[in-house]
Structure 1
Amino acid sequence: MKHIVLIGLTLLIGQNAISQVIEREQKDSLEIRKIYDMALLNGRAYNWLDHLSTQIGPRLSGSYNAQRAVEYTKKELEQLGLDKVWLQPVMVPKWVRGAKETAYVETTPGTKRDLKITALGGSIASPAGGTKAEFIEVQGIEDLARYGEENIKGKIVFYNRPMQANLINTFEAYGGCVDQRYSGAAEAAKYGAVGVIVRSMNLRLDDFPHTGTMSYGELPVSQRIPAAAISTNDAEYLSGILKMQKDSKLYFKVNSSQLPDVESFNVIGEITGIQFPDEIIVVGGHLDSWDLGDGSHDDGAGVVQSMEVLRLFKELGLKPKRTIRVVLFMNEENGLRGGNKYAEIAKKNNENHLFALESDAGGFTPRGFSFDATNTQFAQIESWKKLFGPYLIHQFDRGGSGADIGPLKNGTTVLAGLRPDSQRYFDHHHSDNDTFEHINKRELELGAATMTSLIYLVDKYGFGEISKERETKM
């Protein structure tokens, strides 16, 4: 008889537990539905981005427009009625492009064809008359040793390794060839090259050269050489010309300069948690952009989506248990000074960051997230995946997060990145083609709602046994 009673009690307890889980999931599902409804019917992200992109424009660190963006976003956050909004000072590099670049290929004396190029961020200027020399095509930095100084000295190195088109993850394709942009000039200079031209990081064949940061490493200033990116169409043309006429000459001129560092700011706002105010959840994107286009996808979209997360909490009357903080980082593109400064101050103040989410992959249709988390933390995150099914969010992967939140990594803080569909991202990345007209309002708003929903769940449940124990005692 006792056994029957025990079995009955066990079944009853099990049924109650299942009922509680179902009830909790139903409540979460309803709250997430409200988040999506508010973002899609009464969103602010698109209008914010319109102003940031079309009224302010490109926001290179240290520029006048970057400061205007700081002032604008601070004002908008203050108008949301957050508990606190402030600026965090950070010294940033000030690189100036100068006059528009020029380039051409010369097959025979007097026979020229103009090429579309753009200086790489951080490049020195060409000599006053430009750089003109024969050129050699290589498929990457590793090719330099194969050709050796005898074939490189006095020439322009043309890096022409394309992004690998059969990789579905376009960020993986980008990672497979970006080293030639970042370190190509420093490595080619060691072999006596007088300049470098790099194929744009772009899967599409078009006429837009794509810039991006580069570094000379420890190379002495006297040995540095100018560097520029060339459009994919012109890269194909240049490669074809070289096959037909190996003594063709390449001319290019860039007019950039590196000025002393200047002061800028991370823009920060927060809603203070009502139960665990010392546990901080960060959501953010980077406020700076390259000086081509207007930085709508990279990373204006991430900025306004992050702002929208806090607005949605306020509009829906959601009172978070934990402190939710938006951080609009400065100088991701050519220095990561903002991300490093934020982590430095957080460590100095002994702040406890539970979770950080970054949006820096464009404003396209959200597919899910990638997480840098422990096995236990990721198992908890995966238990929320079914709540995102109705919104076609299916990607919950282990992997990277975001460059700006990377310095917060400490083994306990969970880091995450929003992962939109990436197939068109590199059509726009770092180029004149990154403009507001290429933003889809609905896709942008879906991304903001998806981020807010994840933040809602993290705030409600926390991570691991420590959070559970704290919630039980309250």
Structure 2
Amino acid sequence: MKRNYRTKSKIGLLALFLIFTQVIFSQTNDEVQLRKIYDVALDQGKSYDWLNYLSNQIGGRLSGSIQAQQAVEYTKAELDALGLDQVWLQPVMVPKWVRGTPEFAYFETDPGSTTNVPITALGGSVPTPPKGIKAKLIEVQSIAELDALGADKIAGKIVFFNRPMDPRQINTFDAYSGAVDQRSSGAREAAKFGALGVIVRSMNLRLDDFPHTGGMDYGDTPLDQRIPGAAISTNAAELLSATLKLNPEISFYFKQNCKQMDDVQSFNVIGEIKGSTHPDEIIVVGAHLDSWDLGDGSHDDGAGCVQSMEVLRIFKEMDYKPKRTLRVVLFMNEENGLRGGRKYAEVAKKNDENHIFALESDAGGFTPRGFSFDASDTNFKRALSWKPLLEPYQVTMLVQGFSGADISPLKNDTIVLAGLRPDSQRYFEHHHSDNDRFEHVNKRELELGAAAMASLVYLFDTYGIETAGE
């Protein structure tokens, strides 16, 4: 009996030793793979060159525009050149909104005494009448304030929404979320009280002269009751507010020539590497290829597109054979419709595809700080267990939260959704404005973001996800 006990003890110790060495080997192998990923991204990166062409040769890529189609053709050709297993275009109908001639605005303190201010039409806005709109202003801080004022004080005037993004918020996306309702639904709500138009303070923490556009929604407001909306730069908003306090009787004039056209066909651009052992399990990495027409869309979201393309290029360069199918998806029409994200999810559901993980980059090309996860507690804990592997690369912020707009339609009870979280402090200086240009993207920061994304994709490809019942 003693001999049998000792034999069992030796077998037990041997089993523990084998498990221990397997864990050490696995950890060491992961460290080696992540180091290779970063070496390729930082020493042989292609993302910056791709972004240079996308931004400087094509420029702003508003859905339905010639530039958006050029971006589709360019990125497909570059993915074809990587030698992926498959590259294709997924048709999707998208809205076509045209800005027209540049907007013009001024405020008038006395007859003939005017001060020009920089504005830009909000995406999806109706135009002003051909001769523009000139009316008294009423300044408000919120949509709720409209109800308190009522039609008697609003009818026949231009509503000036002037609530700034909250500077106390450390996460600037929280500050954005707390202010953006006045841009997205301000015109719809002001029209209910007889306003002639709305002017909205730009979503920007910095004081500057760049007006920032962005999508707006009229909801079910009849076409003949829709009023035009425009964004005004933060410097001009400060000046306008101060002038109103001194002279509440000033008039404001603005003219814009934007127009909503019929929907047109565009495409999501998709490329994939087929999985070697679990080809039916799909991992997506992606971003939105469209941008607004101000600036060249480098941070929003050219950076995310080239980073997503770079993830697959890195794996090809490393001769890495993924266990699961890896897809890059460049979504069309995130900015003013989310048609690309919805179409991709619709086709995936129709084809009964099994997506286990999706990662989106749509927060600029700044230094990566970590990732946010929309996942079960079990899968979030799994991601947290990889933090020691990511810490040498200063990717340490792993939190639960929002992942990304384009991948959100894929959400179900099992999939893990994640978003790259770069440093956000400078992002809204560029977002949706003429200040979003290639010169403001740092090559090394962009490449670090691509490497961080590839690292997380590698880990999910290696270990998969846990589903209910496992």
TM-score range, shorter chain: over 0.9
Q: Distance in 2 between matches of 1:280 and 1:135?
A: 53
Q: Distance in 1 between matches of 2:357 and 2:461?
A: 9
SS in 2 for 1:228: strand
2:359 corresponds, among 354, 357, 360, to 357
Structure 2 residue runs of 5 or longer lacking an equivalent are none
* TM alignment of 1:81-120, pairs within 5 A: 81-120=83-122
1:259 Cα offset (Å): 0.5
The letter for the 1-side match of 2:141 is: Q
* 1:269 counterpart = 2:278: no
The letter for the 1-side match of 2:57 is: Q
SS in 1 for 2:150: helix
Equivalent in the alignment of 1:216:
218
Moved over 4 A (4+): 1-12
Q: Is the 8 A contact 2:108 2:251 kept in 1?
A: yes
* 1:420 counterpart = 2:422: yes
Q: Distance in 1 between matches of 2:322 and 2:9?
A: 40
Q: Distance in 1 between matches of 2:291 and 2:6?
A: 69
The letter for the 1-side match of 2:93 is: M
Equivalent in the alignment of 1:472:
none
Equivalent in the alignment of 1:336:
338
1:405 corresponds, among 388, 404, 407, to 407
Q: Is the 8 A contact 2:414 2:468 kept in 1?
A: no
The letter for the 2-side match of 1:463 is: I
Q: Distance in 2 between matches of 1:437 and 1:323?
A: 35
* TM alignment of 1:73-472, pairs within 5 A: 73-464=75-466
Q: Distance in 1 between matches of 2:110 and 2:15?
A: 87
Q: Distance in 2 between matches of 1:224 and 1:450?
A: 45
If the length of structure 1 is used for normalisation, what is the TM-score? Answer: 0.97
2:44 corresponds, among 10, 31, 42, to 42
Q: Is the 8 A contact 2:294 2:436 kept in 1?
A: yes
Equivalent in the alignment of 1:31:
33
1:10 Cα offset (Å): 4.5
Q: Distance in 1 between matches of 2:217 and 2:7?
A: 73
SS in 1 for 2:123: coil
Q: Deviations over 1:216-257 (max 9, x none)?
A: 111111111110000000000010011000001111111100
Q: Distance in 1 between matches of 2:381 and 2:449?
A: 23
Equivalent in the alignment of 1:51:
53
The letter for the 1-side match of 2:259 is: S
1:466 Cα offset (Å): 8.3
Q: Distance in 2 between matches of 1:81 and 1:9?
A: 48
Aligned length, in residue pairs: 468
The letter for the 2-side match of 1:369 is: F
CA RMSD, 1 decimal: 1.4
Q: Percent identity?
A: 66
SS in 2 for 1:183: helix
1:17 corresponds, among 11, 16, 19, to 19
The letter for the 2-side match of 1:139 is: Q
SS in 2 for 1:339: helix
SS in 2 for 1:464: coil
Q: Deviations over 1:86-118 (max 9, x none)?
A: 000000000000000000010111111000000
SS in 2 for 1:34: helix
The letter for the 2-side match of 1:136 is: I
Q: Deviations over 1:185-241 (max 9, x none)?
A: 000000000000000000000000000000111111111111000000000001001
Q: Distance in 2 between matches of 1:70 and 1:334?
A: 17
Q: Distance in 1 between matches of 2:263 and 2:43?
A: 43
1:16 Cα offset (Å): 3.4
1:263 Cα offset (Å): 0.3
Q: Deviations over 1:325-367 (max 9, x none)?
A: 0000000000000000000000000000010000000000000
SS in 1 for 2:213: coil
Q: Distance in 2 between matches of 1:241 and 1:67?
A: 44
- Greater CA deviation, 203-212 or 16-25? 16-25
Q: Distance in 2 between matches of 1:305 and 1:27?
A: 24
- Greater CA deviation, 373-382 or 201-210? 373-382
Q: Distance in 2 between matches of 1:4 and 1:106?
A: 96
1:376 Cα offset (Å): 1.0
Q: Distance in 1 between matches of 2:333 and 2:193?
A: 32
1:23 Cα offset (Å): 1.6
The letter for the 2-side match of 1:181 is: R
SS in 2 for 1:368: strand
1:422 Cα offset (Å): 0.3
1:465 Cα offset (Å): 6.1
Q: Deviations over 1:401-424 (max 9, x none)?
A: 000000000111110000000000
Q: Is the 8 A contact 2:414 2:467 kept in 1?
A: no
